[in-house]
Chain A
Amino acid sequence: MTTRTPTSAWRTVLGIVLAAVMLFPLYWMLNVSLTRTQDLRLDPPRWFPSEPTFTGYRAVLSQQLPALGTSLLIGLGTVLLTLAVAAPAAYALSILRLRGRGTVNFVLLVAQMIPAVVMAMGFYAIYVRLGLLNSVWGLVVADSTVAVPFAVLLLSAFMSGIPKELLQAAHVDGAGVGRVFTAIVLPVSRNSVLTVSLFAFLWSWSDFIFASTLNRNGDLIPITLGIYRYIGNNTTEWNSIMATAVVASIPAAILLVVAQRYVAAGVTAGAVKD
């Protein structure tokens, strides 16, 4: 922290201006979502929704609720699968010192570099045979591939920082490897588990590539695909499209407010490597 800030007032003002510029697209999304259809084509556009309408939101609630539910289900499924795979593995890598962990870490780094479109093609080819296309579980598996390498790297970075005295004490008290994991390592790692869950959920909630390739014709489509189809069908009703966009942003907004510090921690952890 620098200490020489005698003119901090102008910094606050400048900061507010910068944030306003940065967040302008979000304001515009909100503004358009409340604009009446006949006002959408005004030139110049209105800066404020002077006569707000909720028709867009009514359309969302009547048409997109199932998609929101599907996304919620897929998001939670992705979180569970990611944690189930990543947490024990991180324990093995960081505390049990699995032999060959360098190789595993390298593989995880490389895995993060594989473009989603490549994974989508591979999954498509496999799912066609297995009949897993257009299924919620198929999408959960595909979405988890984005989060798993990140989760293992983040959790093992955290776990290797757990004081070894803590682990030794438990060991001396007679706790076995499994017990140390469930009774000490997992509770102590709670914050990083939350960070990982947050990101796994947000990534799967935001996923478009897997949704548009692996679940495009299902009965249960996620909200991103819902918006995409909406755009395709209603190019004249941008208020409804933007209303859906606003609703689809709600989880991110909630998570930002509730779990802000985990977000910052997680973005930074994206850069953690071993």
Chain B
Amino acid sequence: MSTTASQVGNPGSAGGTRHRASSLPPTRPPRYSGQWTALAFAAPLLAYLAVFYALPLYRNIDLSLHHYTVRAFVRGDAEFVGLDTYRRVLTDGTFWPAVRNTLIFVLGSLAVQYATGLALAVFFRGTFRLSGLLRALFLVPWLLPLIVSASTWAWMLNSDNGIVNALLAALGVDQVNWLTSPTAAIWSVTLANIWLGIPFNLVILYSGLQNIPADLYEAASLDGAGPWRSFWSITFPLLRPVSAITLLLGFVYTLKVVDVIWVMTTGGPANASTTLAVWSYREAFGTGQPDFSPAAAVGTLLILIALVVGLIHLRVQHRLEEA
């Protein structure tokens, strides 16, 4: 795995200063003292993982296996119902719309973010004036609080007074009810999420490009390969491991997104932009009456999806390394 780490681990950042972690090969210093000392240094983390990850996760699964009402929640005497809540969630009318919306949101975001990020990374690979500064500016959307970006997009996409519809009107296109139409809402939140994800894709793919030796391109151009040809024969194949990581991380992040959608549409109209994560959030915290058990069950499903994709990724990567 160290190959992957060193390939992507070289940011070649805008300031021109390289991060040392990546440029140095991993060394294996001798053991300094016993395992007990090591354990002592790791103890805060191990305790932290147990108390602040394992315990909340345990509570989450516990919530999904019992029938929790608000009263039972406070008193702690909820009835054990086993997988009943899961059955209820899977047959709920919201389930399939949520799955469909999650697919649109995640796959739509990933495809466009990745393609745009890659195009920009290739663009910035060439040296030109201001390229460092401009590349740094592309990071800004990624650093802002999501609620800031989401509310800005909500106002830009506002049906009556939004700038987007004003631009479309200038082009002679009819007004679109971006956030209030059942068909457009999911695409609108996906659009905002794509905008948010481009910087991340740009940075990782750009640093991946930095590790492709320039002489490969020189050789290719001597052989008469044009830019298009060298992209498909050199850049894209050599970037595959970095692309895989970018897409995996993008998948995991996008699957969890609640705030962007919640701020823009609260999952509506009806369930038109409700993803699994938003559904879970709404059941637990989004209405006056918290319903923790189904929310926790949907949450568990989300973890399972992320894990399956993570494991597939590890396997594929393993095979790539063996090949």
Q: Does A274 contact B (CB under 8 A)?
A: yes
Residues on A with C-beta less than 8 A from B170 are: 44
Which B residue sits closest to A11, measured CB to CB?
B128
Contact of B148 among A8, A85, A248, A272 (CB under 8 A): A248
Q: Are A164 and B39 in contact (CB under 8 A)?
A: no
Q: Determine the distance from Cα of A123 to Cα of B306 in the docked complex, in whole angstroms.
A: 20
Minimum Cβ distance to chain B for residue A120 (Å): 7
Q: Are A25 and B141 in contact (CB under 8 A)?
A: yes
Q: Are B163 and A28 in contact (CB under 8 A)?
A: yes
Q: Are B310 and A113 in contact (CB under 8 A)?
A: yes
Q: Are B55 and A86 in contact (CB under 8 A)?
A: no
Residues on A with C-beta less than 8 A from B31 are: 96-97
Contact of A122 among B5, B59, B152, B195 (CB under 8 A): B59
Q: Determine the distance from Cα of A150 to Cα of B149 in the docked complex, in whole angstroms.
A: 24
Residues on A with C-beta less than 8 A from B280 are: 115, 117-118, 121
Q: How big is the A interface, by class?
A: 35 or more
A interface, over-half SS: helix
Q: Mark B125-155, 1 if CB is under 8 A from A, else 0.
A: 1111111001011111111111111011111
Contact of A41 among B128, B160, B296 (CB under 8 A): B160
Q: Are A168 and B29 in contact (CB under 8 A)?
A: yes
Residues on B with C-beta less than 8 A from A273 are: 1, 4-5, 245
Q: Are A227 and B148 in contact (CB under 8 A)?
A: yes
Residues on A with C-beta less than 8 A from B292 are: 121, 125
Q: Are A116 and B9 in contact (CB under 8 A)?
A: no
Minimum Cβ distance to chain A for residue B308 (Å): 10
Residues on B with C-beta less than 8 A from A253 are: 140, 143
Q: Does A61 contact B (CB under 8 A)?
A: no
Residues on A with C-beta less than 8 A from B221 are: 4
Q: Mark B18-49, 1 if CB is under 8 A from A, else 0.
A: 01111111111111110101111110111011
Q: Does A252 contact B (CB under 8 A)?
A: yes
Q: Does A238 contact B (CB under 8 A)?
A: yes
Residues on A with C-beta less than 8 A from B149 are: 25
Total B residues in contact with A, Cβ cutoff 8 Å: 127
Chain A 5-54 residues near chain B, CB threshold 8 A? 5, 8-9, 11-12, 14-16, 18-19, 22-23, 25-26, 28-29, 32, 40-45
Q: Are A113 and B303 in contact (CB under 8 A)?
A: yes
Q: Does B104 contact A (CB under 8 A)?
A: no
Q: Are A126 and B56 in contact (CB under 8 A)?
A: yes
Q: Residues on B close to A: CB < 8 A?
A: 1-2, 4-5, 8-11, 13-17, 19-33, 35, 37-42, 44-46, 48-49, 52-53, 55-60, 62-63, 73-74, 76, 120, 123-131, 134, 136-149, 151-156, 160-163, 166, 169-170, 195, 198-200, 203-204, 207, 214, 217, 221, 242, 245-246, 249, 252, 255-256, 258-259, 262-263, 277, 280-281, 284-285, 292, 295-296, 299-300, 302-303, 306-307, 310
Q: Residues on A close to B: CB < 8 A?
A: 1-5, 8-9, 11-12, 14-16, 18-19, 22-23, 25-26, 28-29, 32, 40-45, 84-86, 88-89, 91-93, 95-99, 104, 107, 109-126, 128-129, 141, 144-145, 148, 152, 154, 157-158, 160-164, 167-168, 171, 177, 180-181, 191-192, 195, 202, 205-206, 208-209, 212-213, 223-224, 227-228, 231, 238, 241-242, 245, 248-249, 252-253, 255-256, 260-261, 263-265, 267-274
Closest A-B pairs by Cβ, 10 of them: A122-B56, A89-B45, A264-B13, A161-B24, A261-B15, A164-B29, A96-B38, A158-B21, A8-B128, A92-B41
Pairs A–B under 8 Å by Cβ, sample size 10? A2-B217, A110-B307, A115-B306, A121-B280, A125-B59, A125-B62, A191-B19, A192-B19, A213-B284, A248-B148
